[in-house]
Amino acid sequence: MKFKSIAKAYWQLIKSLQTILLVITGIAGYMSGRNPAEDWNEFFAAVITLFLTVAGTTVFNMVWDRDIDAKMMRTCRRPLPSGLITPKHALIFGIIILLVGLVWGFRLDPLYGTVLFAGFFFDFVIYTIWLKRRSPWAIVWGGISGAMPVLAGRVLAIGNIDIPALLLALGILLWIPVHILTFAIKYYDDYARAEIPTFAHVIGVEKTRIVIAIASALSAVVFFMAAIMIGLSGFYLVSIAVLGLLLISQSVMFTFKPTDRLNALLFKSASLFMLLANLFIAIGRMG
């Protein structure tokens, strides 16, 4: 296999778009508490350690879930079920980048490293190994792990866990159901084939849409509160409010007039909300 093909397979193995989005939340968390110009070395170290730990955790998940990925049309072409990468090579890769990220993180700051490790533990041990195949409530723990990068970033910046840090983390925790459950509805048959219990399968699609709408509203409100508490104002604060209102309105529309098109739009809008809200927090704090 050519180097370009190998690199592409490993890039797919870390779920690059998901990893980058989580790293951006971590950057926003850091910049919500400190201007990177104060210490560029620490800032770039934060970016790299966030990337390595998130990517390493993702590889562990991909190795563990390769059997169910092989059953789902959406995931059967991923590097492991398709045979592009062997489980052994993937695991070695995952261990190396995860350990480098965690050790470096602990050297930067013990509390920062602890939060990074918590993200790995909640995601791989609690969410993936223990609950994902047993309970739809697994997404709560997936949400907690997804909130760790933004929490870690702010912890590194200010040296402790404060209320804005918890609000930023809570905003992402509440956002996770919007992201995951719209996917679960779209690929309902795939998840059923893999025997993964999602809310759509356990409580029904109609009630799941209500959960999505409630989670959207709460996530938008909490993010707005966090933005106020970290001192955001003007254009950036208004922009986060507008993004939140758009997300809420689409969720409500999807609840009462569900279509496949609206489901796909809501999934993309939720990702765009998370991306832009965190970018506005990061850029707004630099001004």
Domain ranges of the chain: 3-286
Q: Is-contact 101 53, C-beta < 8 A? A: yes
* pLDDT, tens only, 164-219: 999 999 999 999 888 889 989 999 999 999 999 999 999 999 999 999 999 999 99
Does the pLDDT value for residue 287 go beyond 70? no
Identify the helix (H) or strand (E) that includes residue 219: helix 205-229
* pLDDT, tens only, 35-87: 998 999 999 999 999 999 999 999 999 999 999 999 999 999 999 999 999 99
* pLDDT, tens only, 232-260: 989 999 999 999 999 999 988 888 888 88
Cβ partners under 8 Å of residue 88, min gap 6:
none
Which one, of 15, 99, 25, 100, lies nearest residue 61 by Cα? 15
Q: Measuring CA to CA, how many Å separate 242 from each of 25, 82, 221, 255, 271?
A: 19, 42, 11, 20, 15
| Whole-number average pLDDT of the chain | 94
At 5 the pLDDT is: 86
Tell the burial category of 171 from Cβ atoms under 10 Å away from its Cβ (0-12, 13-18, 19+): buried
Which one, of 65, 63, 138, 48, lies nearest residue 93 by Cα? 63
Q: How far is Cα 204 from Cα 44, in angstroms, rounded to an integer? A: 45
Q: How far is Cα 204 from Cα 76, in angstroms, rounded to an integer? A: 26
At 177 the pLDDT is: 83
Does the pLDDT value for residue 2 go beyond 80? no
Range scoring the smallest mean pLDDT among 27-31, 213-217, 264-268 = 264-268
Cβ partners under 8 Å of residue 60, min gap 6:
91, 94, 98, 120, 124, 128
Q: Is-contact 222 171, C-beta < 8 A? A: yes
Which pTM value belongs to this model? Answer: 0.94
Q: Which pair of tokens denotes residue 86?
A: 């062997």
Cβ partners under 8 Å of residue 282, min gap 6:
24, 27, 28, 31, 32
Helices 87-108 + 110-120 axis angle, to 10:
150
Identify the helix (H) or strand (E) that includes residue 269: helix 260-286
At 92 the pLDDT is: 98
At 239 the pLDDT is: 95
Q: Is-contact 176 218, C-beta < 8 A? A: no
Identify the helix (H) or strand (E) that includes residue 145: helix 138-158
**What would be the CATH architecture of the domain defined by 3-286?**
Orthogonal Bundle (1.10)
The amino acid occupying position 56 is G
Q: Which pair of tokens denotes residue 52?
A: 């390595």
Neighbours of 159 (CB within 10 A): 13
